[in-house]
Amino acid sequence: MDNTRLFLWLALLAMLWLNYDAWLRDRASVQQTARVPPAGEVVPADDDVPELGAASVDAPDVELPAADARAPAMPIRVRTDVLDVVIDTRGGDLVRADLLDYPVDKDRPDVLVRLLDYSPASWWVFQSGLTTAGRRDGPTHQAEWRAESSSYELAPGEDELVVTLTWVGDGGLDARKVYTFRRGSYRIDLDLVLENRAETPWRGAPYVRMQRLHQPVDRSFTSVDSYSFTGPVLYNGEKSEKIDVDDLRSRPKSFTATGGWLAGIQHHFLAAAVPPADAPFQFDATVSDSRYLLTALGEPQQVGADMQQVFSFRLFVGPKVQDQLRETADGLVLTVDYGVLTILAQPLFWVLSKIHDVVGNWGWSIVIVTLLIKLAFYKLTETSGRSMAKMRKIAPRLKALQERYKDDRQALSRAMMELYRKEKINPAAGCLPILVQMPFFFAFYWVLIETVEMRQAPFMLWIDDLSSRDPYFVLPLLMGAAMFLQTKLNPAPPDPVQARVMQIMPIVFTVFFALFPSGLVLYWLTNTLVSIAQQWRINKIVAREAG
């Protein structure tokens, strides 16, 4: 096997794959582009209360008012150490959420990432309630709720903040929405409490739903956000499904599952609603105009006279912090999408995070993990390096054979194989490290792209964000120089065309890597430098053994 040719093909395939992946996402963004209404424009939506079984609630169609009329009736401000939330008394629902530890840009720390938002231009809200068959009134997301205060804040030294809203109905039916916030957590517990003081039983079902305006994402090769899915996700208790909003227009989704959840995700962040894991819920996904609606509706239940029933949900509004996702719901960590290389990317991130716990810097964690990978495959690399060193030694003899059999390719092949056999050289041995490195390269790529822990993570000096490109292109230039030095240590290809291609490969890689996250370039630079050190040492050993 021609080792050099294989290397060239692998490098070319890697570049083509990355460009094809970017093109696919670009094309998808054009196909899925949603019209963003101007500020103040009415955004129509299906705002009915979910139906209970086959019986309709018979609620009229409701259009969302214009922006100035849709402001919360009485906004309730809730602030913890990580969240700044607004609850609307109209519905008692979460309608805005700012992430206090996550600025949109490191240079503008006061402009925070906002997930939920009640403005029509970026509408994204949670809604919840209890629906009753045959009745228009009830403790739904259309009802008016009351709270004792318009402002709540997690006090210093307190680990929990409870916000309670109440609804008082006719005929002895009362309800409460109890939100529980915890220090350092993006999980929000929601309890719907129904008190039936009437003389007749109440029959109904709990529900939670999420509405979001589907907006296009900037899909460019230099935009980190281009490489992550933005849109609705449903989980049926076994697997998650990213849903194309355009597909929902013609094929709404509906299924019943136990242990499922619904979510709206984007690069690094999500908002999710998790029903109780021990009860079946009907999940529905629809779209109206430019807004998609995800609903989880429980089975009908009966609450007897003078009885109380609690229906519990878990909400998650925040970054894709994997430990918190796992604690919130089974399968929620799947929203951190590493693609087909999840089997490699998840262990890589686990090792990275453990090393980060010790060294406190994600850049040095990448360097250390790279060294560990090289150590794990040292024997394989040594075998390959010896083959490369021997190939370098017999390069003049190979050149002589090329001159002798330049007009007879078959004779040249036989002569080269005989030389390899005599010198005990396996040309294919040099391919193995390349084949091993490529999956780890792509796994690292997705870890750096998808993992929120890497977002805006500094390394040292001018590298203040490992998830974005080097602003001064220093790392790509160093990597290109290292690759050039590596080609000088390896045997020159006997084919002049291949030799010229090998000479320009460092330039090609430098150009491509200039657009990649600096953390990925740091990994490849470290890998190349260690490979140079290993090959230099092996060349010396082989030369000494040859006498």
pLDDT in tens, 383-403: 666 666 666 667 777 777 777
**Beta bridge partner(s), residue 280:** 258
- Residue 377 above 80 pLDDT? no
Q: Which residue did the predictor score with more confidence, 100 or 546?
A: 100
Predicted local distance difference test score (pLDDT) of residue 292: 92
pLDDT in tens, 507-516: 888 888 888 8
- Residue 266 above 80 pLDDT? yes
Phi, psi of 413, deg, nearest 5: -65, -45
Domain ranges of the chain: 3-20+346-546, 38-335
Instruction: Find how far residue 369's CA is from the centre of its chain.
Output: 21
- How far apart are the C-alpha atoms of 69 and 256, rounded to whole Å? 36
Q: Are 320 and 313 in contact (CB under 8 A)?
A: no
Predicted local distance difference test score (pLDDT) of residue 361: 93
Structure tokens at 464: 């203040």
Of 324, 295, 297, nearest to 234 (Cα)?
295
- How far apart are the C-alpha atoms of 131 and 165, rounded to whole Å? 17
Of 434, 540, 539, nearest to 491 (Cα)?
539
Q: Decide: helix, strand or coil at residue 168.
A: strand
Among 51-65, 101-115, 291-305, name the one with the lowest average pLDDT: 51-65
Supply the CATH classification number for the domain 38-335: 2.70.98.90
Burial of 71 (0-12, 13-18, 19+ CB in 10 A): middle
- Residue 46 above 70 pLDDT? no
**Beta bridge partner(s), residue 319:** 269
Q: Are 260 and 330 in contact (CB under 8 A)?
A: no
Q: Are 301 and 308 in contact (CB under 8 A)?
A: no
Does this model's pTM top 0.75?
yes
- Residue 77 above 70 pLDDT? yes
Confidence of residue 531 (pLDDT cuts 50, 70, 90): confident
Confidence of residue 124 (pLDDT cuts 50, 70, 90): very high
Structure tokens at 11: 């490098």
Q: Which residue did the predictor score with more confidence, 174 or 431?
A: 174
Residue 306 region, left (φ>0) first, then alpha (ψ -120 to 50), else beta?
A: left
Predicted local distance difference test score (pLDDT) of residue 454: 84
Predicted local distance difference test score (pLDDT) of residue 545: 64
